[in-house]
Amino acid sequence: MALKSSGDCRLQLMESIKEDVFNMSLYNAGNSAFRMQLWFSVIHTVLEICSAISSIDHALHANTWKFLIRQSTKHKSLIKNSVKHAAILSGLCEGILFSFQSCLLLAEQMKRSGTQEDVDYKVFQRTIKLCRFFAVSLVHYIKEFAPFLVDSCSQLHQTYLQIYSKFPPSLHSAVISEAHQDEIAKGFLVALDPLLPSLLSFRPFVEAVLSKVLALPPEQHFAQCHLLLSVMDLLPSQPQEVQALWNTGNHFQEDTPSLQQCSGELSLPVFLPGVMSPGKPETSVTFYHYVCVHLCAFITSLSASHFPLLERLLLETVLGSNMITVLLAVDAWCFLARYGTADLCAQHALTIASLIRACPAEHYRLSLLGVLLRRLLFLMAPNHQMEFIQRFPPKEMENLILWQHLSLKALMAPLRKQVAHELFATGLARFEELLSSKRPLQELLWENAALSALLSVCQTAGETLEAGQQMALVRAAGQLLAAVNIAQVSSQPCLQQAVCLTFRLLKHFIQLVESQMLVQILALQYSLLQVKPPDHIQLAILDFLSSMGKLFIPPDCQVQILPKVSCLFASLLASSNWLIHQHALEAFTQFAEETSHEDIIPQCLSSEETKSKVVCFLSKGCRAEETAEARAERMKEENVLFSRVLVEDRAERQRTGVAESSPKRMCYSPSERQYESAIDSAAGALETMELLLQKGLPPAWLAKKLDALQTTLDRLKDSVC
């Protein structure tokens, strides 16, 4: 490195003299122990000088470090076991961070002033060279003395994070021009690139990066993700033992910083360079896109021996509680299904389907598995789709819980029609069976698989249904809503879900709903809004209202219907809940564009404020323009808040001793006690049934139910044997 200063020649002369004197001393010293002690003293003295002059003269500081590194390497065999390697590496890291921070400050000043004066720019360039010098020196020293740097891995890790947390595109980076950013990247960060490859096989560094007890500040979460992605890009070119070092073991804990803690970078979003395509210019992609592409590229490099681990980790992540990582795992799984063979895709789909059938009906993980299976069905070959239908026939009641998550659009036209009719017949039969029972609704609608399956048919294959089938469904839906009690809906989640599903079913056949039934439905919706129902009920009401524009209301019914419609819209448009308000704007816009009853539109706008918001939405305007800087600051605050919530939640779990149901925790086999409890419950239920039969005649449907129960018992007995 050529560092120009007024005392450059003097420094070089002094360095030459010092080296000659030391060489002479070593030559005259006959005792190897004495020579080792001499060099041990010299190196540490020079190290102290480096610390003393770091802020006095950059050129002298760099040349002193150059002398120290050169002599340490030259006399490695003598001093390797005695020198304070941790202190030397710490000094190099501090030199990197200090010069890097100075470089960023200069770039910020030039960005702020809007000018690039010759003096400032020359200092900026010299500082980049200083950064590069320390980076090259650090990489060289690690290469020579890696086995002696066990205690320094945490500092190396922290140095990497501090650099990349202060450099674009991190939210916490300095505000500098793209030109200066490019100069720093090419002049300094490129020199730091060999650092990771030199540490990939070093177990202490692996443990430092994948530590289970990392307590990183929010501003370093993005840098940690960047580091893991960089490691992932490098691993395919490494030997199998190095890949195993990173890929195996219980490294990925709930508390390890990951993509879920980069919500700000995902929401803003920040952009990174995309994959280069031949003949096309480089484009920028969102952070999520960047992570997904690099993860999928990494999957293609895995050996067959790592696939069981990959499948386990993907499944554990899909069953997790964070939607961002769940989405990433689903995307990666779908890529794996397309990258692998058709048989692999079919095997995964059948496995996921079996898990869904075994999952409790109201468990949130059921919907996560359903999203994955829905996408896998689109990727299956036609013969495998046929096998899937034969394995899980839609005409069987127990498969409704599975088919409610699937899109029939994934199937070929003949299969789609067949499945739609079988699924509709099964779902409607179950629906009507529930309605014909004299027991209270809250006791019957403990699961809504039938309604969900019918909704899936209407959404994805409604055109295959005949007019008679559609009318039968509308009549059944009307019977359910007529039997609903507002007080029960407020306290029964299963009834809430049933009502929501029914509103959405009727939306698809709104033109078949008779005026009198429509009056009853709107009255029910108005009554529900009076008791302040959960968000999902309000959203279902809005779904239904959005379809009302397609109706022409007969003159003799308008006075009963139109005021209720305007009242519902006015109430929902005035909601202070941003989610409800946004959906209300969308639903009202659709209604206003389609309805022929334009007279009621002004009546839906109950206040000037509501009218202003609707006009602003229709004109696609923004009430307040947020600057890029203000939005970045808001994202940083959200990152901090999110991290604090996670820490407090973890502390609370530790304090109370209640462990969260972790998606990354192994599932153990059920105990003997669990089997005893289940069989005792079944036996008790059968004894109750026997007592009921002794008291009077059974209902007509009981024999059919007992036959189904006998089939289940036979299947369980076969699985035990």
The pLDDT tens digits for 263-298 are 888 888 889 988 776 777 778 899 999 999 999 999
* Cα gap 382→403, rounded to integer Å: 17
Comparing 674 with 243, the larger pLDDT belongs to 243
Sign of CA dihedral 56, 58, 60, 62: positive
Pair 188, 131: CB distance under 8 Å: yes
What's the pLDDT score for residue 697?
A: 75
pLDDT range class, residue 469, cuts 50, 70, 90: very high
Q: Among residues 227, 71, 86, 63, which one has the least CA distance to residue 133? A: 63
Residue 168, token pair as written in the block: 């674009």
Q: Supply the angle between the helices 32-53 and 8-28 in degrees, to the nearest 10.
A: 160
CA distances from 521 to 54, 69, 471 (A): 78, 82, 16
Q: Comparing C-alpha atoms, which of 362, 309, 650, 635 is closest to residue 494? A: 362
Cβ–Cβ under 8 Å, residues 452 and 498: no
pLDDT at 189: 95
Mean pLDDT of the 93-109 span: 92
Q: Among residues of the chain, what percentage have pLDDT more than 70?
A: 79
Confidence of residue 454 (pLDDT cuts 50, 70, 90): very high
Give the burial class of 281: count Cβ atoms within 10 A of its Cβ; 0-12 exposed, 13-18 middle, 19 or more buried: exposed
Closest CA relative to residue 521, chosen from 565, 552, 557: 565
Q: What is the value of pTM for the model shown?
A: 0.77
Question: Which of 17-26, 134-143, 450-459 bottoms out in mean pLDDT, i.e. has the lowest?
Answer: 17-26
Contact 430, 479 (CB under 8 A): no
| Mean pLDDT value of segment 404-408 | 94
pLDDT digits (tens, 9 = 90+) for 620-666: 766 566 777 788 888 888 777 777 766 666 666 666 554 443 333 33
8 Å CB contact between 380 and 373: no
CB atoms within 10 A of CB 191: 19
For residues 583, 589, 590, 594, the Cα torsion angle rounded to the nearest 10 degrees is 160
Q: What are phi and psi of 701, to 5 degrees?
A: -80, -5
| Residue labelled with tokens 């990349």 | 164
For the segment 315-340, the average pLDDT, to the nearest whole number, is 91
**What pLDDT is stored for residue 637 in this prediction?**
81
pLDDT > 60? residue 536: yes
Taking all residues of the chain, what is their mean pLDDT, rounded to a whole number? 82
Task: Let me know: does 436 contact 402? Beta carbons within 8 Å.
Answer: no
Range of weakest confidence among 31-40, 208-217, 596-605, 635-644: 31-40
Q: Which amino acid is at 186?
A: K
d(CA 687, CA 656): 40
In which band, very low, low, confident or very high, does the pLDDT at 458 lie, cut at 50, 70 and 90?
Answer: very high
Confidence of residue 688 (pLDDT cuts 50, 70, 90): low
Q: What is the pLDDT at residue 34?
A: 43
Rounded average pLDDT over 484-496: 83
User: For residue 271, what is the enclosing H or E element?
Assistant: strand 271-273
Give mean pLDDT, residues 157-176: 93
Task: Say if residue 253's pLDDT is above 70.
Answer: no
**453 or 675, which is more confident?**
453
Residue 694 has pLDDT above 80, yes or no: no
Asked which of 213-222, 416-425, 648-657 is least confident by mean pLDDT, the reply is 648-657
Is residue 277 packed enough to be buried (19+ CB in 10 Å), middle (13-18) or exposed (0-12)?
A: exposed
The residue type found at 206 is: V
Query: Taking a C-beta distance cutoff of 8 angstroms, is the pair 642, 261 a contact?
Result: yes
Higher local confidence (pLDDT), 452 or 684: 452
Q: Which amino acid does the sequence have at 689?
A: M
The reported pLDDT for the residue numbered 650 is 63
The arithmetic mean of pLDDT across residues 114-126, rounded, is 82
Nearest Cα to Cα of residue 376 among 329, 307, 313, 317: 329
CA 648 to chain centre: 21
